[in-house]
Amino acid sequence: MLLMLRIQYGETTWTLWDRFELDGNPTLQNMLDWFKDTHNLDVQMVSQGVSMLWSSFVPAKKVIQRRPNLKMKLTPPRLPIDWG
């Protein structure tokens, strides 16, 4: 049996197998606000696969330009996963 490390923040406990679910296609700013308001978390980086879509260390001028309008197209996970 494989035991997963449980991590706790606030009153929430999670493992690497847990996930956050958001509805619709929020802007990046909506998503950052949702994590802050709902979970009291500050997002440091957003990535998909090997691509970094946004990070907190991008220069402030570029963040101000991009963040309010960047749409996040949320896609469901592809199942089943073929580990073959």
Please tell me the distance from the alpha carbon of residue 38 to that of residue 62, in angstroms, as a whole number: 26
Q: Domain for residue 57, yes or no? A: yes
Task: Provide the 3-class DSSP secondary structure of residue 57.
Answer: coil
pLDDT tens, residue by residue, 28-40? 788 889 889 988 8
Q: The domain that contains 59 carries what CATH number?
A: 3.10.290.60
**What range defines the domain where residue 46 resides?**
25-75
Please tell me the distance from the alpha carbon of residue 77 to that of residue 57, in angstroms, as a whole number: 28
Q: Which candidate, 68, 56, 58, 62, places its Cα nearest to that of 31?
A: 68
Q: Which candidate, 39, 36, 43, 42, places its Cα nearest to that of 9?
A: 39
Question: With a cut of 50, which residues of the chain have pLDDT below it?
Answer: 79, 81-84
pLDDT value at residue 76: 54
Number of domains in the chain: 1
Q: Domain for residue 12, yes or no? A: no
